[in-house]
Structure 1
Amino acid sequence: MADDKSKRDFRDRVSGGEDYEVAYFARKFQLTIPEARALIAKHGNDRETLEREATALAKS
C-alpha cells in the first residue's frame, strides 16, 4: 500500500533527543553533530524544514 502523504505523524520529524537520529541527519547532510543540533534548536524538528535548511547551509 502506498503512503498517504496527507497524513503526517511523528515519523516526519527528527527527534533531537535521540542521538542516532541526530547522527543520521548529520551524516546525510555532511554536518557535525553540533551543527545538526543547532538546526533542530533553531528550526524545530520538522524533517522537511530541516532538510531544506541543511541543504542551504551546505551550499553556503
Structure 2
Amino acid sequence: MSDDKSKQGQQDRSRVAGDERYEVEYFASRHGLTQAEARDLIDRIGNNRADLDAAAEKLNADRDAG
C-alpha cells in the first residue's frame, strides 16, 4: 500500500514506510547506513521512527567501537 501523502500528520512522521523506497533511502542516508542495513532494521524493529533511530545509532556506535 502506498504512502498517502495527503494525510501527513504526527502519526505519519512517527513511522518509516518500509515499502516506500524514498523513505528507506532517506532513513539510510540520515544514519549513514546502506539500504540493506536500513531494510534489515525495519524488518527487525518495525516502523516506529524513534525505535529505528535508536537502533541505527546503536548499530553505528557498535561499528565505530569494533
Question: What is the TM-score when the length of structure 2 is the normalising length?
Answer: 0.77
Higher relative contact order (CA 8 A, sep 6+): 1
Q: 1:36-51, aligned counterparts within 5 Å?
A: 36-51=38-53
2:34 is the counterpart of 1:55: no
Structure 2: runs of 5 or more not aligned: 1-8
Q: Are residues 1:19 and 2:21 paired?
A: yes
Give the 3-state SS of the residue equivalent to 1:9 in structure 2.
Answer: helix
Gaps of 5+ in 1: 1-6
CA-based RMSD of the aligned residues comes to 1.3
CA distance in 2, matches of 1:52, 1:37: 15
What is the TM-score of this pair, normalised by structure 1? 0.85
Q: Secondary structure at the match of 1:36?
A: helix
Deviation at 1:10, TM superposition (A): 2.2
Q: Secondary structure at the match of 1:40?
A: helix
Which 4+ residue blocks in structure 1 deviate beyond 2 angstroms?
Answer: none
Distance 1:30 1:40 in 2: 15
Corresponding pairs, count = 54
